[in-house]
Amino acid sequence: MSDTQIHNTWRLTLALDIATLFLCSSLNQSYYGTYSTMFGVDRDLDSDMLRVWHMVQELSEQLVHNQKLVSTLQAQANTLKDHSIQNGTGYALRRFNVDLSQEVFESELERTNTQMIIENQTLMHENKQLSQLLKEYEQTLENVMSKFRNHSLAAQQHELTMTRHYETLLVARESSSASSELSNNVIIAASLQRLSHSLRCLLRSLSGEDPESSNEDDRPLEELAGFLEDDSRKDWAVEREAEISRLQKENEELRKMLGVDSENAQRMGWSGEEPEHRPVLHILKATMASSHPHETWVQRSPPQMQPFNVGPVPGNAVPIPHPNIPLQRGNDFQPGMRACSAREVALRAEITSLQEHLGQGEDPDKVVKNHIKLLHDYNEAKDAAQLAVYKETTIKQLHEAYGLSPDD
DSSP 149-208: HHHHHHHHHHHHHHHHHHHHHHHHHHHHHHHHHHHHHHHHHHHHHHHHHHHHHHHHHHTT
Residue 375 lies in a domain: yes
Q: Which of 202, 226, 225 is nearest to 341 (CA)?
A: 202
Tell me how far apart the alpha carbons of residues 169 and 188 are, in angstroms, rounded to a whole number. Answer: 28
Residue 384 lies in a domain: yes
Q: Indicate the angle between helix axes 395-402 and 278-291, nearest 10 degrees.
A: 130
CA 189-179-192 angle, to 5 degrees, is 5
State mean pLDDT over 35-44: 51
Tell me how far apart the alpha carbons of residues 168 and 403 are, in angstroms, rounded to a whole number. Answer: 59
Tell me how far apart the alpha carbons of residues 244 and 251 are, in angstroms, rounded to a whole number. Answer: 10
CA 107, 108, 113, 114 dihedral sign is: positive
What are the tens digits of pLDDT across the range 308-345?
Answer: 344 443 444 444 444 443 333 433 434 444 444 545 65
What are the tens digits of pLDDT across the range 14-27?
Answer: 666 666 666 665 55
Residue 377 lies in a domain: yes
What are the tens digits of pLDDT across the range 131-178?
Answer: 999 999 999 999 999 999 999 999 999 999 999 999 999 999 988 888
| Distance between start and end Cα atoms, the chain | 130
Residue 324 lies in a domain: yes
Q: Which of 386, 406, 404, 393 is nearest to 288 (CA)?
A: 393
Q: What's the confidence (pLDDT) of residue 98?
A: 63
Do 16 and 66 meet the contact criterion of CB atoms below 8 Å apart? yes
What are the tens digits of pLDDT across the range 360-371?
Answer: 555 655 655 665
Tell me how far apart the alpha carbons of residues 175 and 10 are, in angstroms, rounded to a whole number. Answer: 111
Residue 268 lies in a domain: yes
Quote the distance between the C-alpha of residue 247 and its chain's center. Answer: 47
Residue 174 lies in a domain: no
Q: What's the confidence (pLDDT) of residue 143?
A: 94
Tell me how far apart the alpha carbons of residues 302 and 273 are, in angstroms, rounded to a whole number. Answer: 6
Residue 42 lies in a domain: no
DSSP 246-260: HHHHHHHHHHHHHT-
DSSP 82-151: HHHHHHHHS-----S-TTS-HHHHHHHHHHHHHHHHHHHHHHHHHHHHHHHHHHHHHHHHHHHHHHHHHH
Residue 297's CB: how many other CB atoms inside 10 A?
Answer: 16
Q: Indicate the angle between helix axes 278-291 and 364-391, nearest 10 degrees.
A: 20
Q: Which domain holds residue 285?
A: 180-211+259-402
State how many domains the chain has: 2
What are the tens digits of pLDDT across the range 107-140?
Answer: 888 999 999 999 999 999 999 999 999 999 999 9
